Structure 1
Amino acid sequence: MRFEIMNAGKIQLCASLCMWLGIVTWTGNVKFHLWSVFVQHSSERDVVFSVLNEQLNVSKGLRDGKTFSIRSPVTRNNAIEHRVFWSAWLDSLSTRVFGVEHERTWREQVRDARVVVLEAGCGRPTNRLATFADGTRACVRYGIDADQVLGETLSYYLAELLGISNLPPLALSKLNLSSEQWASVRGNIEALEWSPNAIVSLTEFIPNVTGVFIPLHLRKQQGGGLQLSPETISNMTVTYLVELMQWSDLIMFDYLTANFDRIVSHIFSLQWDARVMERTTNNLLKTINGHLLFIDNEAGIVHGYRVLDLWERYHRLLLGSSCIFRRSTVRRISEMMRSGDSAKLLCELYRAREPLARELGSLSQEHALTLQNRIDVVYKHIQQCTEIM
Structure 2
Amino acid sequence: MGYFRAKTTSQWDSDIKPLQFKPNHTSVYKNFCLLSVTFAFSVGFTLGILIPLVYIKSHNANETESILNETLATNTSVIKTIFLNNSYGYMNYTRNKFPSVSFVENIKEPSSDEQLIEDGIYWGRTIERALPEGYHDKKHVIWEDYVKNAIAVKMENGCGRMQNRLITFQDGTKGCVRYRQNTDQIQGELFSFYLAKILNIPNLAPSTIRVINLNDPLWRNLRNEIASAQWNSNRPIVLTQFISNLNSANIPNVFKPVERHLNKFDVINMTKNEVLDSGDLIKTLIELAQWSDLIIFDYLTANLDRIVNNLYNYQWNANIMDAPAHNLARKANSDLLLFLDNESGLLHGYRLLKKYEVYHSILLDNLCLFRRQTVDKIKELKSKGNIGHMLRGMFEKLNSETVKDILPTIPDKSVKILNERIEKVSNQISKCESNFSNS
Same fold, TM exceeding 0.5? yes
Q: Which residue of 1 aligns with 2:54?
A: none
CA–CA separation in structure 2 for the residues paired with 1:222 and 1:298? 30
SS in 1 for 2:209: strand
SS in 2 for 1:238: helix
Q: Which residue of 2 aligns with 1:362?
A: 409
Amino acid at match of 1:366: K
Change (3 A) 1:185 1:318: same
SS in 2 for 1:202: strand
SS in 1 for 2:180: coil
CA–CA separation in structure 1 for the residues paired with 2:259 and 2:391? 30
Change (3 A) 1:116 1:218: same
How does 1:1-389 map onto structure 2 within 5 Å?
Answer: 68=113, 78-220=115-257, 224-226=261-263, 227-235=265-273, 236=276, 237-287=281-331, 288-355=333-400, 356-357=403-404, 359-389=406-436
Q: Which residue of 2 aligns with 1:51?
A: none
Change (3 A) 1:244 1:335: same
Q: Which has the higher strand share?
A: 1
Query: What is the CA distance between 1:98 and its match in structure 2?
Result: 1.7
Q: Which has the higher helix share?
A: 2
Amino acid at match of 1:148: Q
Q: Contact (CA 8 Å) 1:211, 1:281: kept in 2 or not? A: yes
Q: Contact (CA 8 Å) 2:132, 2:334: kept in 1 or not? A: no
Q: Which residue of 1 aligns with 2:49?
A: none
Amino acid at match of 2:370: F
Q: Normalising by structure 2, what TM-score?
A: 0.69
Q: Deviations over 1:265-292 (max 9, x none)?
A: 1001110000001110111111121000
SS in 2 for 1:228: helix
Q: Contact (CA 8 Å) 2:151, 2:169: kept in 1 or not? A: yes
Q: Deviations over 1:156-177 (max 9, x none)?
A: 0100000101100001111001
CA–CA separation in structure 1 for the residues paired with 2:112 and 2:268? 17
* Greater Rg by CA: 2
Change (3 A) 1:212 1:223: closer
CA–CA separation in structure 2 for the residues paired with 1:155 and 1:133? 29
Query: What is the CA distance between 1:225 and its match in structure 2?
Result: 5.0
Amino acid at match of 2:321: M
Aligned pairs, number: 316
Query: What is the CA distance between 1:359 and its match in structure 2?
Result: 3.5
CA–CA separation in structure 2 for the residues paired with 1:337 and 1:116? 46
Deviates more, 1:251-260 or 1:115-124: 115-124
Unaligned runs of 5+ in 2: 1-110
Q: Normalising by structure 1, what TM-score?
A: 0.78
Query: What is the CA distance between 1:105 and its match in structure 2?
Result: 1.2
Q: Deviations over 1:93-114 (max 9, x none)?
A: 2143024322211111113411
Identical counterparts, % of pairs: 35
Unaligned runs of 5+ in 1: 1-65, 69-76
Query: What is the CA distance between 1:215 and its match in structure 2?
Result: 0.5
CA–CA separation in structure 2 for the residues paired with 1:358 and 1:183? 22
Q: Which residue of 2 aligns with 1:5?
A: none
SS in 1 for 2:153: strand
CA–CA separation in structure 1 for the residues paired with 2:405 and 2:213? 17
